[in-house]
Amino acid sequence: MKDPFKILELPRGLAISSEKIDKAYREASRRLHPDSGGEKEDFQEMAAAAELLKSPSRRLRWAIESTESAWDGRGRVPTSVMDLFSPVAEVIQKVDQFELERGNSKSVLGRAVLDARVPELKRELEDVLQSVSDEEAGLLEVFEEFDRGGWLEFAEQMGEVARGLSFLEKWQREIRAATGKLFQALLGGL
């Protein structure tokens, strides 16, 4: 892909806020949308650039590749990220088990007994999502250092952080999906 920062007319840097990316996307959309006289291909390229930059892990991988360093998705992951693996897996497994048990329940009373577990499951999901979000915020703090020191200089460290962020982004999606499953199970029982 071409330089996503240039496409969105943003200064090149990893430590860019979501708000700046969103604002640049809205401005570029006004210019490039086919309904405004823009070309469909240019609009799609701009949308892809915005999507890439909105994901910290994908933004970081693009930066690594732009230095002509090889991106390796395998390798070291921050220990603090791996420490979250079990808590995330456990709570998602609990939600999956709840969904299965509720789906197999044949009586209103049985579903009501299971539904009493929902507040606790919801709290556990919220807690683990907060832990994942806090870890992500900690990893994002080094983006300014990478920008100051130069991407080529920090390519190896950037790779480790990118791998960690990939896990965190995936877990955030899974936790949100598990939260949705809880509510779907309850709505399906009405």
Query: Per-residue confidence of the chain (190 residues) as pLDDT tens digits?
Result: 799 999 999 999 999 999 999 999 999 999 888 888 888 999 999 999 999 999 999 999 999 999 887 777 788 999 999 999 999 999 999 999 999 999 898 898 988 899 999 999 999 999 999 999 999 999 999 999 999 999 999 988 999 999 999 999 999 999 999 999 988 877 865 4
- pLDDT given for residue 189 in this prediction: 55
Identify whether residues 31 and 92 lie together within a single domain. no
Task: Indicate if 158 and 93 belong to the same structural domain.
Answer: yes
Assess whether 182 and 89 both reside in one domain: yes
Same domain, residue pair 24 and 87: no
Q: Are residues 47 and 88 in the same domain?
A: no
Instruction: Indicate whether 84 and 178 sit together in one domain.
Output: yes
102 within some domain: yes
Task: Specify whether 92 is located in the same domain as 181.
Answer: yes
CA distance 67 to 81: 25
Within a domain: 74: no
What is the C-alpha separation between 166 and 62, in angstroms, rounded?
A: 13
Distance, CA of 119 to CA of 128 (rounded, Å) = 14
Residue 73 lies in a domain: no
135 closest CA partner among 93, 108, 163: 163
> Domain range holding 91?
79-186
* Contact criterion met (CB below 8 Å) for 153 and 69: no
Residue 9 sits at φ, ψ, to 5 deg, of 55, 45
| Structural domain includes residue 25 | yes
Domain match, 117 and 170 both:
yes
C-beta neighbour count of 110 within 10 angstroms: 13
Q: How far is CA 45 from the centre of its chain?
A: 21
CATH label of the domain that carries residue 9 = 1.10.287.110
Q: Please report which residue ranges of 83-140 form alpha helices under DSSP H.
A: 85-104, 108-115, 118-140
For residue 60, is it within any domain?
no
Examine residue 67 and state whether it is found in any structural domain, yes or no.
no
